[in-house]
Amino acid sequence: QVQLVESGGGLVQPGGSLRLSCAASGFTFSSYYMSWVRQAPGKGPEWVSGVNTGGGSTRYADSVKGRFAISRDNAKNTVYLQMNSLSPDDTAVYYCKATINGVDYWGKGTPVTVSS
C-alpha cells in the first residue's frame, strides 16, 4: 500500500533553516507528481510546493517562493523540502502528498515550529 513518511521537522529560530524529507513506498515513485502541503494551527491546509516526475519542473506558493526549494531523488524514492529564512508564519504541520491516478495520498506529517 502507499506509504509516505515525513521527517526533519522540529523547533527552529526565526531566520533558520530546516530540510524535510518524505520517504515513499508502495507505488512507482518516479511516475507521480509530489507535493508538500502545510496546515498551521487553527487554519486550513495550504499547498506549499510541487515537483514533477523528473524533478525538472517545480512550483511554489507565493508565501514561500524564494525561500523554499523542493527536490526529489527517484533512486531513493524521496522528496525533499529545503526551507530557509523561516519565520513564525511558517509554523505548521508539513505533509507530503502523492497524487496517484487522481487520488491524493498523505503522510502523517512532521511539525515545524519557528520560534525564538
Average pLDDT per 10 consecutive residues for the chain, totaling 116 residues:
97 98 97 97 97 96 98 98 98 97 95 97
Strand locations in the chain (E): 3-7, 10-12, 18-25, 34-39, 45-51, 58-60, 68-73, 78-83, 92-100, 103-106, 110-114
* CA 8 to mean position of chain CA atoms: 10
User: pLDDT value at position 26?
Assistant: 97
User: pLDDT value at position 34?
Assistant: 97
User: pLDDT value at position 12?
Assistant: 97
* CA 73 to mean position of chain CA atoms: 14
User: pLDDT value at position 19?
Assistant: 98
User: pLDDT value at position 27?
Assistant: 97
